[in-house]
Amino acid sequence: MRRGNIKVEYRRMVFRNSIIIVLLTLVGIGSSACRKKVARAANDPLNQAYATEPNWNDPDKVIPLNYQETQGQRVFYQYCVWCHADSSPAGPSNRANLTPSPALMNDGAKLNGLSDEYLRNIITLGGSAMGKSPMMPAFGKTLSQQEIRAVIAFTRAIADPPYKRPARAGSQYSAR
Amino acid sequence: MPAEHRGDVSNRLRVIYTILTVVFVGVLAISPIRDHYAQWKQYQKKYVKLASARANSKALMGDFQGGINQIWLPKLKVTDRCTTCHLGISEPSLLAESVPQPFRAHQMIPHPPEAWGCVVCHRGQGLATNVQEAHDTTVAWERPILPVRYIQASCGVCHKNNLPETPKLDRGRELLVKYNCEGCHHLQGIQGPAMLGPDLSNIGAEVTRAWIYKWLKQPRTVLDKSGNVVTDGYEMNPRMPQFRFKKGEIRDLSAYLSSLKSPLKESSKIDPRVAADWPNQSAMLSYGEFRFRQMFCTDCHSLAVVRAGMTELIGGDIGPELTKIGSKVNRDWLISWLRDPQAYLPHAVMPRYTWSDKDLYAVSQYMLSELTDPDLLSDVPKLGPATASEIKNGRLLFVAKGCRSCHFIRGVPAQKDFGPDLTDEGGKTLSELFFAQAKIPHTLIAYIRAKITDPVSVNPAARMPQFHFDSADMDAITTALLSMTGTPTNPGLASLIVPARHPKFDPAGKFGKLFNRYKCFDCHMFNGFGATLAPNLSYEGSRSRRQWLIDFLKDPVTLRPTLTIRMPQFNMSEKDAETIADYLDMVMQSPQVDFSTVNAKDFTPAMASLGKQLYEVKYECQSCHTIGASGGYVGPALTNVGNWMNAAWIEAWLKDPQKLVPDTIEPHREFTDKEITALTAYLVTLRQRGKAGDGGAGR
């Protein structure tokens, strides 16, 4: 009888302990597996923008700019804005003075059809080299190629109607 | 134990152990299985799929390395495993926005990620290998990713000087100076001269108690979109914030301030015959307005005007808005201030004009009777004379509200550290911030923005007054504050800090006196010191001929026809103009311009006519420059350039304008030497008044 008791108790103990071990292990793994999910901030495109530019045709709308486009924005407002916008930081624009009238930099209808390469050439070499008005000076010695690419990227970003990049591998923006 | 029972026990135990073994094997397998399905492995599989579908898959796959990748830079203490998932970070062909994250290439920046790591700029946890731990705030990591919107803050951690690449950061720092945040807070890297509010030691002589009451109550006018007044204040965009006063406090403060009154130092007397000279009031006022405009007061002061149904401010923001000045200041004070601003306020940035009594009378009359708002003080209660107890309370309030941080009053001691120290605010972790009951996301950025937008929303006992910033300025200030992360704990970064430069140009002697009297540095730049409102004069002596300078200083002609901001007429004497011209001529010289190499006598009419052709036909310079009545508005008018500029300067300018003035708009053209000589020969023939200069030695 005594032996039987020991045997039964021993059996119970082993059973109880193994259940506890299994449960503890499961609880441990389960708790580490259940990561707390934090809601990520709503994906506001302006949160991912290096800088912004108001839409020229609708100043209430804001266009997000990335790093390259922001550098283009700076170059544009220093060198190009005087003739390629209808108002300038100093007041009125020189655009109305000129014939032929220079393109507005956000004129998608006019600029979207021109390739990046064409724009890069006309900025680098000037109007007369491309069979256009000599009033457009050559900026190849004033701006670096990187700055010229940035201005083009800025133009594309503010284009209205919006610019769609042609699906083609090896974009010029490799820039490296 | 009887033998027949032994089998039972071991059988049962065997069953239990078998089950347990299976369970344990299962449990042990969880870890490798989880590891197999780790986020980063999934991303790497996706990347392989993406890379092999692209045209340059061979190159992409050649660069691909499976497993945990890291950028390890011991000197910078960088160990960033971000590239484990951000696999295309240095692949130029993956730059397009159509490439899904996390595989897109990084924008071309001056500090490429391979050389600087990621966390140095983006924050987050570089060692982590799952999305949440790397990007977000977790229990163990309180430095979450900085949204790109504020990323320029990271440039400012090391670059204490302004950079052309960081417009938002630079604007934020400018605002911190403009609103004198340093008056109450310690800030990092803001070493520019403080922009204090006016000295109030003698304010009672300038304005009435009623006006002070109005100003303290509501400094700001707000209009809605259709131009209706929503908030009726004094200025449209004042630097003065709005304080939260309890009942009676404005009464006390206005009593104290209006009691600060001593006799004016400069004469406010104008010969009565001057006033009697005018046939009628309206002729005098319109002359006053004419002179007000001619002196270009609006270069520094703004006026609210209605244009096409919209009310807008035109003019500069160096001095206060003048739209309602006539309803603010005392007549005697205005006249004595205009005569000599520094006599009233030694640190005033307003230049001292030379006034005739006629001008002073007409201009002050114009300001006092035309620039007014008759209803301005209609909502101010009747205040009566200030009582002694009001004055006493007002003085205590002046100190308790922190007014002394921006406004000097003789005899009131300065307070140190009125507001909290913000030198490391931008690097604080969540546990260092106290959100109280504020219903805002618990992030550093939300905290900073809430503190600026509405200080009491976070801390009901906040003493900070209410400022008003638009959303762009809000972003800029937040960025600038985020850049203040205290002394870097990372010694690798500490040695890389680029300090801000604050060049000083402080001439002495006769010129020094005039330089400080006319405040040339309010608008012009001199060897890196000054402002960018007007042309850089560091090389003015190389550019302009002495006689032209004298004529210009006495009667500034418009060189850029469309500019709304122009050189004011200071009514300078011949002697003053000569002193300034002599100094510029002798000292402000460029090493790039050598007068001995160009002799204007060598120019022949044939060269000039070739130059004219180049100007008009080949290069169409008239698209930007005006000669006579026709031409463009971008560059200065060249009608009188022969009298204005030295031939040697013109040659050097045409060769490389950026070498003389680094950020000038004029593009650097590819002229041949012959073309440059011809253009110079043509330009020096353009003379308006046929005076000035001997034509020799390029001068």
Rounded CA-CA distance B42/B51 in Å is 14
pLDDT for the residue A3: 56
Tokens of B163: 């950079």
Give the least confident one: A20-34, B1-15, B250-264: A20-34
SS3 B689: coil
Q: Are A173 and B148 within 8 A, CB to CB?
A: no
- Per-residue pLDDT tens digits for A23-40: 776 666 555 554 444 445
pLDDT for the residue B1: 54
pLDDT for the residue A36: 45
pLDDT for the residue B564: 66
From residue B328, give the alpha-carbon distance in Å to each of B207, B290, B333: 6, 22, 11
Q: Mean pLDDT throughout B686-696?
A: 55
ipTM score assigned to the predicted complex: 0.87
Band the pLDDT of B460: cuts 50, 70, 90. confident
Q: Mean pLDDT throughout B443-461?
A: 92
Question: 């922009």: which residue's tokens?
Answer: B195
Q: Mean pLDDT throughout B88-94?
A: 91
What single letter denotes the amino acid at residue B104? R
The alpha carbon of B63 is separated from its chain's Cα centroid by a whole number of angstroms, namely: 43
Nearest to A169 among B1, B55, B623 (CB): B55
At residue B409's C-alpha, the angle toward residues B404 and B415, to 5°, is: 30
In this model, does residue A41 exceed pLDDT 60? no
pLDDT for the residue B544: 95
Q: In terms of pLDDT, which residue wins out, A38 or B149?
A: B149
* A137 has a chain B CB within 8 A of its CB: yes
What single letter denotes the amino acid at residue B445? I
Contacts of A71 in chain B (CB under 8 A): 165
- Per-residue pLDDT tens digits for A87-132: 877 777 888 888 889 999 999 999 999 999 999 999 999 998 999 9
Q: Pick from A35-39, A148-152, B457-461 the range whose average pLDDT is largest.
A: A148-152
Rounded CA-CA distance B168/B477 in Å is 8
* A77 has a chain B CB within 8 A of its CB: no
DSSP conformation letters of B515-531: HHHTTGGGT-EETTEE-
Tokens of A58: 């609708």
Question: 């809430």: which residue's tokens?
Answer: B450
Mean pLDDT of chain A, nearest integer: 82
Query: Is-contact B26 B34, C-beta < 8 A?
Result: no
Pairing of strands B310-315, B525-526: unpaired
- Per-residue pLDDT tens digits for B462-482: 999 999 999 999 999 999 999
Strands (E), B337-444: none
Nearest to B109 among A3, A52, A67 (CB): A67
Band the pLDDT of B68: cuts 50, 70, 90. very high
Shortest alpha-carbon distance between residue B636 and chain A (Å): 13
Tell whether omega for the bond before A100 is within 30 degrees of 0, i.e. cis.
Answer: yes
Q: Are B136 and A38 within 8 A, CB to CB?
A: yes
Tokens of B588: 């402000």
Rounded CA-CA distance B613/B620 in Å is 9
Contacts of B669 in chain A (CB under 8 A): 137-138, 141
In this model, does residue B6 exceed pLDDT 80? no
Q: Are A14 and B16 within 8 A, CB to CB?
A: yes
B417-443: string of b/e by CB count within 10 Å (b at 16+)? ebbeebbebbbbeeeebebeebeeeeb
Q: Are B147 and A47 within 8 A, CB to CB?
A: yes
CA dihedral (B659, B661, B662, B665) in degrees, to 10, reads -110
Nearest to A142 among B152, B631, B667 (CB): B667
Query: Is-contact B634 B561, C-beta < 8 A?
Result: no
The alpha carbon of A64 is separated from its chain's Cα centroid by a whole number of angstroms, namely: 7
User: Which of B620, B625, B653, B672 to mutate against chain A (most A CBs within 10 Å)?
Assistant: B620
pLDDT for the residue B682: 96
Rounded CA-CA distance B328/B371 in Å is 10
Please compute Rg for chain B using Cα positions.
Answer: 34
Q: Mean pLDDT throughout B1-23?
A: 79
- Per-residue pLDDT tens digits for B361-384: 999 999 999 999 988 888 899 988
User: Which of A3, A37, A135, A163 to mutate against chain B (most B CBs within 10 Å)?
Assistant: A135
Tokens of B441: 């996301």
Q: Are A48 and B149 within 8 A, CB to CB?
A: yes
Q: Are A176 and B92 within 8 A, CB to CB?
A: yes
Q: Are A71 and B165 within 8 A, CB to CB?
A: yes
Q: In terms of pLDDT, which residue wins out, B281 or B560?
A: B281
SS3 B305: strand
pLDDT > 90 fraction of chain B, expressed in percent and rounded: 60
Question: B209-217 and B249-258 helices cross at what angle (nearest 10)?
Answer: 140
Band the pLDDT of B318: cuts 50, 70, 90. confident
Nearest to B668 among A46, A94, A141 (CB): A141
- Helix or strand (DSSP H, E) at B554: helix B546-554
Q: Quick one: A123 exposed, middle or buried, by C-beta within 10 A (0-12, 13-18, 19+)? A: buried
Q: In terms of pLDDT, which residue wins out, A19 or B659?
A: B659
Q: Are B92 and A173 within 8 A, CB to CB?
A: yes
Band the pLDDT of B193: cuts 50, 70, 90. low
Q: Which of B196, B216, B197, B221 is nearest to B257 (CA)?
A: B216
Mean pLDDT of chain B, nearest integer: 89
User: Which of A142, A149, A171, A174 to mutate against chain B (most B CBs within 10 Å)?
Assistant: A142
Tokens of B178: 């403009």
pLDDT for the residue B435: 87
Contacts of B30 in chain A (CB under 8 A): 29, 33
Band the pLDDT of B692: cuts 50, 70, 90. very low
Give the least confident one: A22-36, B189-203, B527-541: A22-36
Q: Mean pLDDT throughout B588-608?
A: 89
Rounded CA-CA distance B134/B86 in Å is 12
Q: Are A92 and B620 within 8 A, CB to CB?
A: no
Please compute Rg for chain A using Cα positions.
Answer: 33
pLDDT for the residue B567: 87
- Per-residue pLDDT tens digits for B599-628: 878 899 999 999 999 999 999 999 999 998
Q: How many CB atoms lie within 10 A of CB B378?
A: 9
SS3 B597: helix
Q: Quick one: B449 exposed, middle or buried, by C-beta within 10 A (0-12, 13-18, 19+)? A: middle
- What are the counts of helices (DSSP H) followed by strands (DSSP E) for chain A? 6, 4
- pTM metric for this prediction: 0.87
Contacts of B619 in chain A (CB under 8 A): 134, 137
Q: Are B147 and A14 within 8 A, CB to CB?
A: no
In this model, does residue A58 exceed pLDDT 50? yes
Rounded CA-CA distance B452/B448 in Å is 6
In this model, does residue B401 exceed pLDDT 50? yes
Q: In terms of pLDDT, which residue wins out, B625 or B696?
A: B625
Band the pLDDT of A22: cuts 50, 70, 90. low
User: Which of B15, B37, B108 to mutate against chain A (most A CBs within 10 Å)?
Assistant: B108
In this model, does residue A68 exceed pLDDT 80? yes
pLDDT for the residue A25: 65
pLDDT for the residue B693: 39
- Per-residue pLDDT tens digits for B625-671: 999 888 888 888 899 999 999 999 999 999 999 999 988 999 999 89
